[in-house]
């Protein structure tokens, strides 16, 4: 028997020692685990992703929440009025003004012989068209919380590209996913070069207006709750 044939025979023997047990035992076990931990939980995976995308919508610019006296008459932080209970600073207001969403006014005042400057911001017509605000209760019943944002569409899950077999760690189950999101009803200003000061996440023009695929992990807790754990990667997604 030639050396080549002996080599082929040995390869066939060793391959059989691996592939036959894998096909008969390991592969069915892996498929069963995938079905239990991934396929059957796909609705929860999608729900967790959509919840995260709503909270961190890249097509929106959000301001820091501010506290308001419970009985205050709130008209929004960009009415031009001076109200001491609103944020003392707005670290993105100059960007919003540069993009044409706010008008910035600086006035000079004499305060007991000292010159002081007061800055106010008002919504432009463009800003008003994409602006919204919300007031909610706070832990302190004497106060309420004001929130504001400028949105140029709504980001939501479009599809899941890939889901890895699950991984157990610390009593929790992790599922690595690669997903693609889309911006629904994108405002044309999102694609305008004038929006660059806002540093928004700009999708493809579409339709659909898709963002670049991203990878993350979904963690399932023992009580069944699922949420995105964006700082955790495993398997082929470790360095992505």
Residue 236 in this model has a pLDDT that exceeds 50: yes
Cis peptide before 207, with omega less than 30 degrees from 0? yes
Token duo for residue 72: 């205050």
In the block, residue with structure tokens 């008459």:
73
- Kindly indicate the confidence band of residue 143, based on its pLDDT and cuts at 50, 70 and 90: confident
User: Is the whole-model pTM more than 0.85?
Assistant: no
Cβ partners under 8 Å of residue 115, min gap 6? 108, 109
- Kindly indicate the confidence band of residue 7, based on its pLDDT and cuts at 50, 70 and 90: very low
- Kindly indicate the confidence band of residue 80, based on its pLDDT and cuts at 50, 70 and 90: low
pLDDT digits (tens, 9 = 90+) for 46-74: 999 999 999 999 999 988 777 777 777 65
* Pairing mode of beta strands 172-184, 167-169: antiparallel
Mean of pLDDT over the chain = 82
As a whole number of angstroms, the distance between CA 46 and CA 49 comes to 5
Angstrom distances, CA of residue 77 to CA of 84, 104, 123, 127, 154 = 11, 13, 9, 13, 23
pLDDT digits (tens, 9 = 90+) for 93-125: 899 999 999 998 888 877 777 778 777 888 999
Torsion sign, CA atoms 104, 109, 115, 116: negative
Residue 155 in this model has a pLDDT that exceeds 90: yes
């Amino acid at each position: 028997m030639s050396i080549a044939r002996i080599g082929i025979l040995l390869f066939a023997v060793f391959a059989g020692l691996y592939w036959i047990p894998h096909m008969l035992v390991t592969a069915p076990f892996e498929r069963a685990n995938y079905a239990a931990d991934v396929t059957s939980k796909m609705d929860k995976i999608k729900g967790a992703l959509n919840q995260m995308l709503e909270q961190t919508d890249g097509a929106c610019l959000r301001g820091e929440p501010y506290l308001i006296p419970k009985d205050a008459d709130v008209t929004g932080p960009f009415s031009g009025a001076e109200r001491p209970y609103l944020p003392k600073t707005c670290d993105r207001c100059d960007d919003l003004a540069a993009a044409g969403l706010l008008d910035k006014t600086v006035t000079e005042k004499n305060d007991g012989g000292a010159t002081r400057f007061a800055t106010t911001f008002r919504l432009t017509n463009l800003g008003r068209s994409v602006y919204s605000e919300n007031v909610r209760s706070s832990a302190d019943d004497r106060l309420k919380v004001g929130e504001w944002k400028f949105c140029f569409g709504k980001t939501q899950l479009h599809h899941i590209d890939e889901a890895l077999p699950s991984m157990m760690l610390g009593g929790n189950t992790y599922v690595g996913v690669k997903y693609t999101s889309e911006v629904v009803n994108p405002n044309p200003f999102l694609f305008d070069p004038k929006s660059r000061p806002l540093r928004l996440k700009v999708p493809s023009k579409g339709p659909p207006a898709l963002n670049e695929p991203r990878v993350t992990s979904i963690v399932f807790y023992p009580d069944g709750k699922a949420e995105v754990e964006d700082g955790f990667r495993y398997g082929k997604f470790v360095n992505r």
